[in-house]
Structure 1
Amino acid sequence: MIFEITNIPLYKQKSLHWAAQLEVCSYLDSNNFTNSYSKFDALIAAGVKNEITANAGDAFDKLNQFRQEHSGWLTGFLSYDLKNETEHLTSTNADKLHFPDLYFFEPQHVVIIRGNKVEIISEDAELIFAQIEQQVIFPVQKPEDLNLQSRFSRDEYIDTFNRIKQHITRGDIYVTNFCQEFYAQDATIHPVSIFTDLNRISPTPFACFFKYHQQYILCASPERFLAKRGDKLISQPIKGTARRGATEAEDNAIKLALRNNIKEQQENVMVVDMVRNDLTKSAVPGTVKTEELFGIYSFEQVHQMMSTVTCQIQQGLSSVEAIRNTFPMGSMTGAPKVSAMQLMEQHERTRRGVYSGAVGYFSPDDDFDFNVVIRTILCNAEERYLSFEVGSAITFDAVAGDEYNECLLKAKAILEVLKTSIN
């Protein structure tokens, strides 16, 4: 059923507050970043009709079967540690968040916002529309004082960075993504307030609020992992980050410097090559192409270098198989992919879990769209544990201090939202 609304931002906020009252919900917001692959402004899925929870082993097979049985809207998340299923790998680092490796649900209610139109798919669409219209928006609640700590001191980060560089010098790998965790124990937050603030400070095209009972994904991701539109697969990896300038002239100069930065171009082209290689597993031969190389896109907090790689999907290949063939995404792993993941398992100190995994949806027309879970706060409210991770690419030409500073730049919006600094 289609309804018209006049105040779109207000209706989005009411939809978020309404959905967050249920045990499970997903709120995906494009924040008005539209392109030829966009399908909606916001998608809200709430309430569970059917669901699947799985851990690495046969998770993709289970999801494939679940998708065949439920061909309508599905939304959910994929953990980075599904790498242990797609490759012969293990995860042994500490996990304090305890998300499942894979979770998807068929929602009872779907709310789709496009322009000033709202489509509600529900057994009682008029009632749901009225409930959202009448929803009270609670004032933003600041988090209690958080004792935010890091798994690495700056010196420890640099020492580990240098050991990773030795692997690159020896030729074990030629690029990797090294991630570090910042965390708070005994943490109490109001997830809707935190996400609202994060989405205000750092609006991005793949923002999401995902509630899985007492576990939350509060995400301000700028990056698309993989989408399907008809018979076309689209991946838009990001490699290359620069700060925003204080003036328009400075901002333009920073963008130009990023576009012409040889190191950033090297990182970007390496991940593009990885994505092209991954897509060949799902592509009609000869259809993999790079539609855009080294595109510069500006967001509230940073400029990013982004490329677009596409292909035509093989006839008869399921959507889930196409996702499995490219997972985890090259921008969060390294190359060679398996060697880089093995090394990061040794040098990182936290099981990544949902971080550097993906959140997204399958639609009734068999399209799908998944982000890369970065710039994201993860929270287990029951255990009062809050976490976010940041990473950067390490290549032969990378400089430890620069990469550490890039990590802090990527964490800037989250630190602002959490009203804290790193101890």
Structure 2
Amino acid sequence: MRTHKSLLLKDSPHFKEQLLLWSQQFDDVVWLDSNNYQQLNAQYDAVLAVDAMTSIQSDYQDAFDKLKEYQTLTQDWIFGYLSYDLKNDVEHLKSENFDGLQFPEIYFFQPKKIFLLKGNRLTMHYMRMVDDEFDDDLSQIKSQHVNGVHEPNDVKIHLRIHKDEYFNKINEMLVHIHRGDIYEANFCQEFYAENTVINPIETYNKLNAISKPPFATFFKLSDKYLLSASPERYIKKAGNTIISQPIKGTAKRSENIEEDEALKEALRNDQKERSENIMIVDLVRNDLSKTALKGSVVVKELCEIYTFDQVHQMISTVESKVDEDINPVEILKSTFPMGSMTGAPKISAMKIIEALEETKRGLYSGSVGYFTPNGDFDFNVVIRSILFNESKKYVSYSVGGAITAKSDPLKEYEECLVKAKAMREVLEN
């Protein structure tokens, strides 16, 4: 049983910084921050889970069955991630590309301590609390000194796929599209640095300050870190309602207000971007229908434009209703990996992606999130993210784009650079 305590904070933004700093003493940390972004159905402004009481870690084999068993057994808050390569558990697929990061393919833990922030209200949920533990922790958190000075990173980024090779691979993908093997596929490329050390918390704070996205994540598993400025929700369950919000379509921002509005309108009316988005919406509708009550799948928003600090994004919202008896892990399994990171038809796209990409995706284009004790959940899409293996001194970020029959290899390459801009700025100053 958990004990909880609730209180009002005088300075929420400062407390959030102190809380994240305090969390670094633990080996297991999940920090999720909506950055007060109001448009995307966030139940909490920020969530912190630390210190595993129990955990589950596995390769892809029977991963969803193991997660289902763990979630059913705990009937508690559990936090963790699904790597992209769990596709091999869902379908007869394989992942044989280079992996410099070496993250487990699935990891979830039952935290001893959870902090939920909404407005100025902080609620703390503790497992097996000892006397005065709430007050002692609060005192420690409030004594954290947030240093506004950031040390520059000294990172030299390399490309796993060089420009000419990228063009060749996109043209190969276009051959598949024109032949009718697929309509669309998300092709990703890795940028990396070896023999490199970064300060994870500083790097995350810089990345988050640039982007202020609604699904920001700081994740730590011992020596492995995810520092994410994700703007995208994969899937959420609230009661018997399922919400998925795929992103397809990106435009850069301008500091000139009129030019920025013109870029936004151009994205809204871009037929290539709209067709990309609608194809993925169809795929998401199909995925949700596998667990939905008959006739309950609806498109709430189609090709809406959402504005973030770095980019404008085209986002659709698809909802369904499910039977209250369905296991929540079954909903994840039947929709994973998310359509926005694969393509259509999904299985063919994943096979072609595997053949053309050079890097095992791992946690990139997977998902981080949590289950509540009553079986609700919320999971993001791991994009716009820096991954770091401290022991291997390996830093990586990947970016991708949807390739369709209308794709121009040069424009796709330029869109990748727009998406990579924040990570590159943070790592290379």
> Which of 396, 400, 409 is the matching residue for 1:400?
409
Question: Structure 1: how far apart are the matches of 2:69 and 2:38?
Answer: 32
Q: Is the contact made by 1:144 and 1:187 (CA closer than 8 Å) also made in structure 2?
A: no
Equivalent residue of 2:295, what SS? coil
Q: Is the contact made by 1:55 and 1:100 (CA closer than 8 Å) also made in structure 2?
A: yes
Of 243-252 and 388-397, more deviation after overlay is shown by 243-252
Identity %: 47
One-letter amino acid of the counterpart of residue 363, structure 1: T
> Which of 39, 42, 60 is the matching residue for 2:43?
39
Question: Structure 2: how far apart are the matches of 1:233 and 1:208?
Answer: 22
Q: Is the contact made by 1:208 and 1:218 (CA closer than 8 Å) also made in structure 2?
A: yes
Instruction: Provide the residue aligned with 2:312 in structure 1.
Output: 303
One-letter amino acid of the counterpart of residue 255, structure 2: A
Q: Is the contact made by 2:245 and 2:317 (CA closer than 8 Å) also made in structure 1?
A: yes
One-letter amino acid of the counterpart of residue 419, structure 1: E
Instruction: Provide the residue aligned with 2:16 in structure 1.
Output: 12
> Which of 401, 405, 425 is the matching residue for 1:416?
425
| 2:81 aligned with 1:77 | yes
Equivalent residue of 1:125, what SS? helix
> Which of 237, 257, 277 is the matching residue for 1:228?
237
Question: Structure 2: how far apart are the matches of 1:56 and 1:211?
Answer: 20
Instruction: Provide the residue aligned with 1:278 in structure 2.
Output: 287
Instruction: Provide the residue aligned with 1:389 in structure 2.
Output: 398
Residues 109-124 of structure 1: matches in 2 within 5 Å? 109-122=113-126, 123=129, 124=133
CA offsets 1:84-110 (integer angstroms, 9 cap, x no match): 000100000011101111000111110
Q: Is the contact made by 2:100 and 2:394 (CA closer than 8 Å) also made in structure 1?
A: yes
| 2:189 aligned with 1:180 | yes
Residues 160-309 of structure 1: matches in 2 within 5 Å? 160-309=169-318
Question: Structure 2: how far apart are the matches of 1:210 and 1:248?
Answer: 35
One-letter amino acid of the counterpart of residue 58, structure 2: A
Q: CA deviation at 1:36?
A: 6.8
| 2:112 aligned with 1:108 | yes
Question: Structure 2: how far apart are the matches of 1:140 and 1:292?
Answer: 42
Question: Structure 2: how far apart are the matches of 1:136 and 1:70?
Answer: 36
Q: Is the contact made by 2:153 and 2:426 (CA closer than 8 Å) also made in structure 1?
A: no
One-letter amino acid of the counterpart of residue 382, structure 2: V
Q: CA deviation at 1:246?
A: 2.4
Pick closer, same or farther for the CA change 1:36–1:77 going to 2, 3 Å. Answer: closer
Question: Structure 2: how far apart are the matches of 1:392 and 1:45?
Answer: 32
| 2:103 aligned with 1:99 | yes
Question: Structure 2: how far apart are the matches of 1:36 and 1:332?
Answer: 19
Residues 141-152 of structure 1: matches in 2 within 5 Å? 141-152=150-161
Q: Is the contact made by 1:142 and 1:189 (CA closer than 8 Å) also made in structure 2?
A: no
Structure 2 residue ranges without an equivalent (≥5): none
Q: CA deviation at 1:140?
A: 4.7
Question: Structure 2: how far apart are the matches of 1:106 and 1:132?
Answer: 21
Q: Is the contact made by 1:120 and 1:129 (CA closer than 8 Å) also made in structure 2?
A: no
TM-score with structure 2 length normalisation?
A: 0.96
Q: CA deviation at 1:163?
A: 0.8
Q: CA deviation at 1:218?
A: 0.2
CA offsets 1:181-233 (integer angstroms, 9 cap, x no match): 00000111000000001110111000000000000000000000000011000
Question: Structure 1: how far apart are the matches of 2:147 and 2:97?
Answer: 38
Instruction: Provide the residue aligned with 1:334 in structure 2.
Output: 343
Question: Structure 2: how far apart are the matches of 1:10 and 1:182?
Answer: 33
Q: Is the contact made by 2:156 and 2:428 (CA closer than 8 Å) also made in structure 1?
A: no
Pick closer, same or farther for the CA change 1:143–1:384 going to 2, 3 Å. Answer: farther
Q: CA deviation at 1:139?
A: 4.7
Pick closer, same or farther for the CA change 1:64–1:140 going to 2, 3 Å. Answer: farther
Pick closer, same or farther for the CA change 1:36–1:379 going to 2, 3 Å. Answer: closer
Q: Is the contact made by 1:11 and 1:133 (CA closer than 8 Å) also made in structure 2?
A: yes
Question: Structure 1: how far apart are the matches of 2:162 and 2:39?
Answer: 40
| 2:384 aligned with 1:375 | yes
TM-score with structure 1 length normalisation?
A: 0.98
Cα RMSD between the aligned structures? 1.1
Of 146-155 and 177-186, more deviation after overlay is shown by 146-155
Q: CA deviation at 1:138?
A: 4.0
Equivalent residue of 1:219, what SS? strand
Q: CA deviation at 1:141?
A: 3.9
Question: Structure 1: how far apart are the matches of 2:35 and 2:271?
Answer: 31
Equivalent residue of 1:355, what SS? coil
One-letter amino acid of the counterpart of residue 259, structure 1: R
Q: Is the contact made by 1:177 and 1:394 (CA closer than 8 Å) also made in structure 2?
A: yes
Question: Structure 1: how far apart are the matches of 2:26 and 2:293?
Answer: 42
Equivalent residue of 2:25, what SS? coil
Q: Is the contact made by 2:157 and 2:428 (CA closer than 8 Å) also made in structure 1?
A: no
One-letter amino acid of the counterpart of residue 269, structure 1: I
One-letter amino acid of the counterpart of residue 56, structure 1: Y
One-letter amino acid of the counterpart of residue 157, structure 2: L
Question: Structure 2: how far apart are the matches of 1:405 and 1:83?
Answer: 29
| 2:11 aligned with 1:2 | no
Q: Is the contact made by 1:60 and 1:320 (CA closer than 8 Å) also made in structure 2?
A: yes
Q: Is the contact made by 2:218 and 2:227 (CA closer than 8 Å) also made in structure 1?
A: yes
Q: Is the contact made by 1:358 and 1:371 (CA closer than 8 Å) also made in structure 2?
A: yes
One-letter amino acid of the counterpart of residue 318, structure 2: V
Q: Is the contact made by 1:46 and 1:108 (CA closer than 8 Å) also made in structure 2?
A: yes
